[in-house]
Chains A and B, each alone.
Chain A
Amino acid sequence: GESVGLHLPTLSVQEGDNSIINCAYSNSASDYFIWYKQESGKGPQFIIDIRSNMDKRQGQRVTVLLNKTVKHLSLQIAATQPGDSAVYFCAENGGMNTGFQKLVFGTGTRLLVSP
């Protein structure tokens, strides 16, 4: 049946600030992690990914940090812009050797950027 709705954690920042969004994952067997951005009424958009043999990966204005010891993932957004306002999800693959990536999504964080 339908689950009870939950309030998403929200991070509010000013335009130009750096944002850090955190995610705790559950499966120590996961070896591939992805951050997605989802705007209202749209599908998730790939931001950046990281494999478990790395602890940091940088993209354009974004950095993902992976701490396998404590099963923690973070997304850093530099010089946050109003267009970055969205819900951000982390996803893990559960380390499943199925021939395809079966993703498990985190609960999500809403990022609100004020001008």
Chain B
Amino acid sequence: GAVVSQHPSWVICKSGTSVKIECRSLDFQATTMFWYRQFPKQSLMLMATSNEGSKATYEQGVEKDKFLINHASLTLSTLTVTSAHPEDSSFYICSAEGGRRTYEQYFGPGTRLTVT
């Protein structure tokens, strides 16, 4: 139980286009979802926290107009990278909280974004 999926698992897009990444909790309702980005050989950096039905809370230095987060339901959050640039190329990982073990975050498999 407590499975989180992400779609797509990898995506290549051209500069200036927008890309949407989905994060779903498959067998539990996620009260809170988190979005991280990870550059090669580096740690996970929290980008934003989202609660269903409310606006996401962004970490310092993360542009909310560039990284649009929508937490439309208790099982789905989306991250849209708008007007993507090569420096946005990264591994994006979501996690969800609200499974059997309260406060444990269950991580998705990640989405590799490459902007050309």
Q: Is A61 an interface residue (CB 8 A)?
A: no
Contact A100 B103 (CB under 8 A): yes
Q: Which residues of A contact B109 (CB under 8 A)?
A: 42-43
Identify which of B42, B105, B108 contacts A103 (C-beta below 8 A): B105
Report whether A103 and B46 are in contact in the complex, using a CB–CB cutoff of 8 Å: yes
Q: Which residues of B contact A7 (CB under 8 A)?
A: 41
Residues of chain B lying within 8 A (CB to CB) of residue A5: 39-42
Q: A2-B87, A100-B97, A101-B97 are in contact. Are A45 and B43 (CB under 8 A)?
A: no
Query: B108's closest neighbor in chain A, by CB?
Result: A43
Q: Are A105 and B97 in contact (CB under 8 A)?
A: no
Give the chain B neighbours of A101 by CB distance below 8 A. 97, 103-105
Task: Given A5-B40, A43-B109, A106-B43, decide whether A100 and B49 contact each other with a Cβ distance below 8 A.
Answer: yes
Give the A-B pair count, Cβ closer than 8 A.
64
Indicate the size class of the contact surface on chain A: 20 to 34
CB distance from A19 to the nearest CB of B (A): 19
A101 and B97 alpha carbons, distance in the complex (Å): 8
Q: Which B residues touch A104, using CB under 8 A?
A: 46
Across the interface, B87 reaches (CB within 8 A) one of A1, A44, A89, A102, namely: A1
Asked if residues A49 and B43 are in contact (CB atoms below 8 Å), the reply is: no
Closest chain A residue, CB of each to CB of B110? A43
A44 touches B43 (CB 8 A): no
Contacts of B90 in A (CB 8 A): 2
**Is B84 located at the chain interface by the 8 A CB criterion?**
no
User: Can you identify 26 A-B contacts, CB atoms within 8 angstroms?
Assistant: A1-B87, A2-B87, A3-B42, A5-B39, A5-B41, A6-B42, A7-B41, A36-B107, A42-B110, A43-B4, A43-B93, A43-B108, A44-B44, A44-B107, A100-B32, A100-B97, A101-B104, A101-B105, A102-B34, A102-B49, A103-B105, A104-B46, A105-B44, A106-B43, A108-B42, A108-B43
Kindly list the 10 A-B residue pairs having the minimum CB-CB distance in the complex, ordered from nearest. Answer: A43-B107, A100-B32, A105-B43, A101-B103, A105-B44, A43-B110, A44-B107, A43-B109, A43-B93, A2-B87
